A and B are shown apart, each in its own frame.
Chain A
Amino acid sequence: MGSLSNIVFILSPQAVTALANKGKGLEPRLHTVLNLVDGVTPVVQYLPFLKMLEPVEEKFAELEAMGYLVRVGMVSPLAVKVFQDSVAAGASVTSLPNIDARTADSGFMPLD
């Protein structure tokens, strides 16, 4: 399985039901990550802000495998690289680019 960094997820109906039941039957950390999915933010953009929930990318993969998350599209690899480089350089949050699907810079491409 390749990297999920540039993937944008959306909640499946199953996930909506699970969240309505306050994540009953779901591991708390998975529930937390699931609750943060908004349908516009690529996985890479969660990583700097969820240090205490690491490994975050694996949790996304697990939730997708469980049928809670559905891929809705992906942002451009270039946007992801710019974002990752900024994080690696220790840039403050005010200098990090916003590459969510609503922005033109993200190069967002919806999936069929």
Chain B
Amino acid sequence: MKVYKRTSEGKWAAFDDLSPLPRKLRILLKAVNGKAPEEVYIKSLSAFGDVHALLQSLEQAGLIADRGQRSSSKPSAAMAPPTPAQPTPQRPNVMPVVALPGLVMPGLVTPIRAAAAPTVHTAAAGPKPAPAGANMFERTEVLPNDRAHGGRSSARPVEWQVLPVLTDDAPAPQGLPLRMPVLGLPGDPPTLTTEMTDPVALAAMADLADLADLADSARLQTPPASKDAFVAGPAWGASAAAPVGLAVNVPAPAFDATNPAALALADLAALSARDAMAELAALAESSARAVPSHEASPLASISPENLLAHNALMAAANDEPIADAATTRATVRHAVELMSNFLLDHVPRAASQVLPEVESIHSLEQWAELMDGYAAFVAPAGELGRLHLLQIRRMLAQALQAADVGSKGWYA
């Protein structure tokens, strides 16, 4: 079973306007996400024709490469006799859950007031006392990320995550170390993490927390349908009373699309948001059975204009608009990728019809015009679709606000 990923040339060819790759092949190339096996593309993109031959052609052209067999090693490993000392598996430091103030989602993360000063583990310096006001967060449920990253079961020990919490009266210092949990295997030493001191990273995290706040507030307005629908406990009240987080205290710096670290962090933030939204959607779906559908999600009524107003309220007084063409272009491209991926993942039947339209978006104006039609296509995805739309509309509103270009598109 082949699992293709885009090569560096493939990434360029998929997203750069100067790419000589024919338009519809670019769509297929964009669909290659490095995770899904080839069979998934062959089945879900049958409208492309001989997808197998197309993927092989792209491979020959050096635009995609096989990641190697992913699952074939698992059965043999399972059948092998256990060895007394297993070496620590080499794996990337994936950071699937980002627990932050303002991102305290019911059932996902529970803040626990520690009686004594909690301890922060640091990769370099070892344990040290946490800063004043720090809270301890414990994951109380299994997240879908657990299975997505390595396929390990919920029986794994859950790591404690110690995060500093910002409050209104304690403004956030720049360079605040943000801890990100890394899921561990039994016997793993406490693995940590990157200290995020980059203000761009803080801004990306602020966006993530903000998005989760919106989703959370929607949840708070929807009464739990049953005892089982939500995880009861302090998380429910705690999330409503969560201290004001980074979104207010940290002025958002300009997003630099030419900074690879910024792009990577933005991708990370998007990934985490998507995972968080997936979890929220699953919970909301179970609760929505007992309430009329039109009351189930107030998110659906949020328009770009409202979000724009929301952003204006949230912006710090000294925020400056970010308005250069490269940033706008990067945002548009990122949104197009998000929309393409969502279509392919969740509404594959409609994907072949809509993808050319989505892929043709080259300006904020085109993007705004397409949103109504896009919303119709995404509607079958249910709550997840609505949350996805919220994210896209929010990106659009932010991009419009940042670019402030009126009717000027950047694409000639």
Contacts and interface: CB of A to CB of B under 8 A. Distances in A.
A73 B61 CA distance: 27
A1 interface: no
Contact of B49 (A32, A48, A100): A32
Nearest to A36: B24
A40 interface: yes
B355 to A, nearest CB: 12
A56 B60 CA distance: 15
Interface stretch (B13-21, B146-154, B170-178, B205-213): B13-21
A93 B47 contact: no
Interface size class of B (residues with CB under 8 A): 20 to 34
A44 B95 CA distance: 44
A92 interface: yes
Contact of A38 (B20, B22, B53): B22
A53 B53 CA distance: 7
A77 interface: no
A49 B62 contact: no
Interface in B363-396: none
B53 A93 contact: no
Interface in B38-63: 46-50, 53-54, 56-58, 60-63
B195 interface: no
Interface string B61-83: 11100000000000000000000
A28 interface: yes
A35 interface: yes
B18 A98 contact: yes
B25 A49 contact: yes
Contact of B9 (A23, A32, A46, A93): A93
A31 B50 CA distance: 8
Given A51-B57, A52-B56, A93-B61, A32 B22 contact: no
B410 interface: no
Interface string A25-53: 00011011111101011000110111111
A99 interface: yes
B13 A38 contact: no
B12 interface: yes
B54 to A, nearest CB: 7
B57 A49 contact: yes
B62 A93 contact: yes
Residue of B22, B49, B53 most packed against chain A (CB within 10 A)? B49
A107 interface: no
A49 B20 CA distance: 10
B113 interface: no
Nearest to B49: A32
Nearest to B356: A38
B35 interface: no
A94 B57 contact: no
A4 interface: no
Contacts of A93: 9, 12-13, 19-21, 61-63
A22 B56 CA distance: 21
Nearest to A95: B20
Contacts of A49: 21-22, 25, 57-58, 61, 63
Nearest to B48: A35
Interface in B1-29: 9, 12-13, 18-25
A48 B46 contact: no
A92 B9 contact: yes
Contacts of B23: 38, 40-41, 100
A36 B18 CA distance: 18
A36 B47 contact: no
A50 B21 CA distance: 11
A96 interface: yes
Given A40-B23, A93-B9, A98-B20, A35 B47 contact: yes
Contact of B22 (A34, A45, A92): A45
A48 B22 CA distance: 10
A52 B54 contact: yes
Interface string A66-108: 0000000000000000010000000011101111100000000
29 contacts: A23-B49, A32-B48, A32-B50, A32-B54, A33-B49, A34-B49, A35-B47, A35-B48, A35-B49, A36-B22, A36-B24, A38-B22, A38-B24, A46-B22, A49-B21, A49-B58, A49-B61, A50-B54, A51-B57, A53-B53, A92-B9, A93-B13, A93-B20, A93-B61, A94-B9, A94-B13, A97-B20, A98-B18, A99-B20
Interface of B: 9, 12-13, 18-25, 46-50, 53-54, 56-58, 60-63
Given A35-B47, A52-B54, A93-B9, 20 more contacts: A19-B47, A23-B49, A29-B53, A31-B49, A32-B54, A33-B49, A35-B24, A36-B22, A40-B23, A46-B22, A49-B58, A50-B57, A52-B56, A53-B50, A92-B62, A93-B20, A93-B21, A93-B61, A98-B20, A99-B20
